[in-house]
Structure 1
Amino acid sequence: MPNPEDSVSRQLEAMIVAGTISRDPAQLGIARRLDHLLAALAGSRAQRKSNALGWLFAARKRENPPLKGLYIYGGVGRGKTMLMDLFYETVPIQRKRRAHFHAFMADVHERIFKHRQKLKNGETRQADPIPPVASELFAEARLLCFDEFSVTDITDAMILSRLFGELFAKGCVLVATSNVEPVNLYREGLNRDLFLPFIDLLKSYADIVPLDTGTDYRMSKMEGLPVWLSPLGPQADAGMERAWKTAMDGRVVTTAEVAHKGRKIKIPAAAGTCARFSFGELCERPLAAADYLAILTHYDTIFIDHIPHLGPERRNETKRFILLVDTIYDRGARLFATAVAPPADLLTARNGTEGFEFDRTVSRLIEMQSAEYAKNSHR
């Protein structure tokens, strides 16, 4: 655990000296920006501490000028999450929250639902759920840190401007990482015009900073790791755990949900842009190609445990597996899997359409194991 008195820059330099990471001027530049914000938050905390109830009155006054957060964007594996985690662990305030953006929004929707239930039951007269929900969130956390900020759900897009308008007005500070700059958030989303005010709001309350480094550090760590492990057994499971731990890169693993057409697709294990499933969770459930696409919109690296032999007795599972592999391949995502056999030996009987289609699946699974595919992944 970092020393609370350390700066992000000093911690980064210590990791460089120890050989844990390589020196990267772009990362050090972001670290210095985070140091400035850390100092500002610490100073603001000290000022408020003179009045034990100071934070209760924060909603009645706005900081002048408002304390601006950071929105850090850049490609996959550039070190954004590492920098934000160092900052979060170091910043000396208690009311802080670090969350995957989609998990945070799921919490927001749950709070909105509960408020509407209270209104229905006559427990409140406040018809608009956004102000009380924002007040609850701010009472719990003045600092919000979001990893992998992306907006794909129309319901999220419609409430973000109002929700964060309330939060920022109360003095909430946002630090977020994303693969895209704000102007590209929800880029081709339905009714995007209604989302655009949030982009302007974000620019007013957070400095937009690119992390320009040409090195994908996560990919370099994962080079040489086996992608397809077979046959099933302790050795394959151990190899999978090593790959999973490397991909996590110190992130906290949580359960998650992906909203799709009014349903919630459960993600049993997720961290950053990586998600892990058993074969049954992906191919024995009634999921379709659109569901797999929704998952791949949020996650660029998929881990699948214990792929069995496929045959006539598992026809539906075989069809779903073919769709899943097609979707992973088309999205340029990475796949790590443990299986009962190599790809060419998975299908026990080549009957009907699935037999011909599985030839394509085998070809793609073999290509996904190549260094060239890994280099060009997330395209």
Structure 2
Amino acid sequence: MGLGNHRRTANGPNKIASASSGPFRAAIGDSAITFDNAQIAAIDALSTPARHGYYLWGDVGRGKSLISETYFAAIPTDDKRRFHFHDFFRDLQAQIIREREPLERSLRRLLGNARAVFFDEFHVHDVADGVYLSATLKSLLDGGILVLATSNYAPEDLMPNPLYHERFRSAINIIRAELDVVHLGKGEDYRLTHAALTRGFGTGTWRTQPPVANDTPSIELNAAGHIIKARSVDGDTAVFTFSDLCTRPLGVAQYLWLAEKLRTVALIDVPDLATVDRDPLARFANLIDVLYDRDIPLHVTAAGEPGRLVEASEPPRDAKRIASRLSALKLA
């Protein structure tokens, strides 16, 4: 059935949520993982069938991805879709512009017959995403589609910029009123204390060395109409300077393009992150998010340790998450 064929009901749990509770509990039990008290409380909350879905939020490294991925895998239907938040809204905006069609029709194209949708790493920095999000949530809920979302932020903190917060308030209200908001409480950051990742992004490295002069001529890459400069390209591996990717005004769409075309990225001439200005540092954070989410190995040569990020005068809003993700890189 299509998007419009699962109508929202005023009362009672979502049928897919009800059908998922038992398989989710069984999968958690079969995992043989020892969960802490806050994680157990979150698992209990997701085991209680919701009317429309769940918004699971908490600090980095607390197991949100593990718990939500286990839930998503347990949903007993193949009619389900998982999206990284950035990817979904990039594709949605492109679809609307390309086809010159209403939001509802573009959503149907992206979601197909989905009866459940999982948005991973829910965070809003682009006001356009915030505007589309309200309409998207309304459409999903009206369609009776089960929504599962994870975030590092409480709904009220998703768009902190006071210039745009009021425009995003309707989305916050929808999340609070319609989804079961589940807080995964404070505890151990398992990314920092458990075994390092052994594939993809986790095979990357962070090498600290004094900056050296780099006069390598650049190579221009055409990223869907935007020019990205690289120092070298060898098959699906490319080398960029910090200036190439973070000082220049690039956006998430260009980083997603790189992640789709490349299998390994090297970033050189990275200054001490504590000395970097706000905008380049925010772009660096977006770059790390995209490469981590797409599991692309990253090799960094920098003037300082990765932890210096949080000592910047204006660190990115997601500094804790970015520092946690950078901890997966092996110090060389």
Instruction: With the length of structure 2 as denominator, give the TM-score of the two structures.
Output: 0.62
Gaps of 5+ in 2: 1-19, 206-244, 272-276
- SS of residue paired to 1:7: helix
Residue in structure 1 matched with residue 284 of structure 2 by the alignment: 295
Corresponding residue for 1:104? 88
1:34 equivalent in structure 2: 46
Task: Give distance in 1, aligned partners of 2:147 and 2:310.
Answer: 32
Distance 1:167 1:281 in 2: 44
Q: Which amino acid aligns with 1:160?
A: L
Amino acid across the alignment from 1:219 = L
Question: Quick one: structure 1 residues 167 and 323, their matched pair in 2 at CA, closer, same or farther if it must change by over 3 Å?
Answer: farther
Hey, what's the Cα distance between the residues in 1 that align with 2:60 and 2:267?
A: 26
Q: One-letter code of the match for 2:92?
A: V
Which residue pairs with 1:279 in the alignment?
Answer: 267
Letter paired with 1:110: A
Tell me, in whole angstroms, the C-alpha distance in 2 between the residues paired with 1:174 and 1:242. 28
Q: 234, 238, 254: which is aligned to 1:265?
A: 254
**Equivalent residue number for residue 211 of structure 1:** 184
The AA in structure 1 aligned to 2:156 is V
Deviation, 1:329, is: 5.3
Q: Quick one: which of 103, 123, 130 aligns to 1:157?
A: 130
C-alpha distance in structure 2 between counterparts of 1:337 and 1:115, whole Å? 41
Aligned residue type for 2:27: Q
The question of whether the paired residues in 1 share the 8 Å contact of 2:201 and 2:329 is answered with: no
C-alpha deviation, 1:216, in angstroms: 1.1
1:266 partner amino acid:
Y
- Match for residue 31 of structure 2 among 3, 15, 20: 15
Larger Rg: 1
Q: Residue 104 of structure 1: CA displacement?
A: 1.1
Q: Structure 2 CA distance, aligned partners of 1:173 and 1:269?
A: 29
Higher relative contact order (CA 8 A, sep 6+): 2
Write the mapping of 1:13-162 to structure 2, written as runs, cut at 5 A: 13-16=29-32, 21-37=33-49, 67-116=51-100, 129-162=102-135
Residues 80 and 211, structure 1, Cα contact 8 Å, conserved in 2: yes
Percent identical: 24
- Select the structure that is richer in helix: 1
Q: Distance in 1 between matches of 2:250 and 2:162?
A: 14
Query: Which 4+ stretches in 1 moved above 4 angstroms?
Result: 239-243, 260-263, 267-270, 280-283, 297-303, 321-329, 335-339
- 8 Å contact 1:70–1:174 — kept in the other structure? yes
CA distance in 2, matches of 1:186, 1:298: 20
* SS of 1:187 mapped into structure 2: coil
**2:253 aligns to what SS in structure 1?**
strand
Q: Give distance in 1, aligned partners of 2:189 and 2:251.
A: 35
Taking a change above 3 Å as real, the CA distance of residues 154 and 30 of structure 1, as seen in their structure-2 partners, is same
TM-score normalised by structure 1 residue count: 0.55
Contact 1:8/1:83 (<8 A) preserved: no
| Distance change >3 Å, CA 338–CA 94, structure 1 → 2 | closer
SS in 2 for 1:146: strand
CA RMSD between the two structures: 4.1
Question: Could you tell me whether the CA contact under 8 Å between 1:77 and 1:216 is conserved in 2?
Answer: yes
Q: What's the counterpart of residue 372 of structure 1?
A: none
Contact 1:279 1:304 in 2 (8 A): yes
Quote the Cα distance in structure 2 between the aligned partners of 1:336 and 1:28: 25
1:177 and 2:150 aligned: yes
Q: In 1, are the aligned partners of 2:115 and 2:144 still within 8 Å (CA)?
A: yes
| Structure 2 partner of 1:46 | none
Superposed CA offset, 1:172-224 (max 9, x none): 221111111101111116422111011111122211110114111121115xx
- The equivalent of 1:250 in structure 2 is none
Secondary structure of 2:48's aligned partner? helix
How many residues are matched?
A: 249
Residues 194 and 278 from structure 1, CA distance in 2 versus in 1: closer, same or farther, beyond 3 angstroms?
same
